[in-house]
Amino acid sequence: MKIVDATFLQSAQSIADSPDPNVAEVAFLGRSNVGKSSLLNTLTNRKGLAKSSSTPGKTQLINYFNIKFKTSNEEMPYLFARFVDLPGFGYAKVSKGLKKDWNRNLTNYLEQRPCLQIFVHLIDSRHPSLDIDKNVDEFLSSIKRGDQIIIHAFTKTDKLKQNDLAKLKREYPNGIFISNLKKKGMDSLQNAITEHLFG
Ligand code: GTP
Ligand code: MG
């Protein structure tokens, strides 16, 4: 299965102003600057689709994208999903009030969205066991419904030495190891996503 089209649908501050939950969603979440927006662009092969930046805190809203997959089934040639780019965790340079709202809107989305099927938790491969990521994992495990899965995607693997990458892969046998820079791991990630959504 291949992504043949990806378009921006809308931004939302919270669930209240989000699109109708009538299409399966895949949420990309993780620390600020970990590479969420870049990953969306690489996966969909659309450079400027999601706004990425070297300044943390770039993505400040819930951003919805329509994704169209081409299947090998002539009777159902296309399947559809939404990818959701989320604001990063752990970004300090916003006011406390805004931060609280962000977190509430974000956790509401993660906990309450009925069509949310996959959490893609992005983790910087250079810092794989930070407390904030462990806390996020605990939270996700505590809210996960039976129809949902969590995928751990380790990002920026181009910054690791081969030895260190091999060690990380042994430590996290179920992880998916990606590099936007080198376009690595995209097939594995896409297969894991389509397998759960449509398999
Ligand atoms: P927020 O929206 O702030 O939460 O950040 P984000 O997680 O969306 O990160 P974004 O995609 O904006 O990328 C942050 C920075 O990391 C940018 O400077 C990217 O160019 C860089 N980056 C993203 N992916 C990779 C990668 O695979 N390798 C390397 N070396 N740099 C990357
Ligand atoms: Mg972003």
pLDDT per residue as tens digits for the range 2-23:
999 999 999 999 999 999 999 9
CB 175 within 8 A of CB 152: yes
Spatial CB neighbours of 56, under 8 Å, sequence gap ≥ 6: 32, 33, 88, 91, 93
Burial track 70-84 (b if 16+ CB lie within 10 A, e otherwise): eeeeeeeeebebbbb
CA distance 176 to 162: 15
pTM of the model: 0.95
Q: Which residues are bridge partners to 12 per DSSP?
A: 62
Centroid of ligand 1 to alpha carbon of 137 (angstroms): 20
Q: ipTM, 2 decimals? A: 0.99
CB 195 within 8 A of CB 22: no
Q: Which ligand is nearest to the CA of 91?
A: 1
Centroid of ligand 2 to alpha carbon of 91 (angstroms): 12
Residue nearest to atom 30 of ligand 1 (CA): 156
Domain membership of residue 127 as a residue range: 2-198
Give the atom of ligand 1 at the shortest distance from the alpha carbon of 60: 2
Look at residue 92 and tell me whether its pLDDT is greater than 90.
Answer: no
Residue nearest to atom 26 of ligand 1 (CA): 156
- Per DSSP, the three-state class of 191 is helix
Q: What percent of the chain has pLDDT over 90?
A: 80
From 11, 53, 83, 94, give the residue whose CB has the most ligand 1 atoms within 8 Å, as the site to mutate. 53
CATH code assigned at 136: 3.40.50.300
Phi-psi region of 57 (alpha: psi -120 to 50; beta: other; left: phi over 0): left
Give the atom of ligand 1 at the shortest distance from the alpha carbon of 89: 4
pLDDT band at 56 (very low <50, low <70, confident <90, very high): confident
Q: Which of 63-72, 129-138, 168-177, 182-191 has the lowest mean pLDDT?
A: 129-138
Spatial CB neighbours of 62, under 8 Å, sequence gap ≥ 6: 11, 12, 13, 14, 18, 84, 85, 86, 87, 105, 106, 109
pLDDT band at 55 (very low <50, low <70, confident <90, very high): confident
Residue nearest to atom 5 of ligand 1 (CA): 33
Residue list, ligand 1 pocket, CB within 6 Å: 32-38, 52-54, 56-59, 87-88, 155-156, 158-159, 179-181
HSE, CB side, 13 Å, CA atoms: give it for residue 115.
16
Q: pLDDT per residue over 119-160, tens digit each?
A: 999 999 999 999 889 989 999 999 999 999 999 999 999 999
Tell me which residues have their CB within 5 A of the ion that is ligand 2: 36-37, 58-59
Q: Give the C-alpha distances (Å, rounded to integers) separating 50 from 12, 36, 154.
A: 14, 9, 19
CB 174 within 8 A of CB 152: yes
Number of domains into which the chain is organized: 1
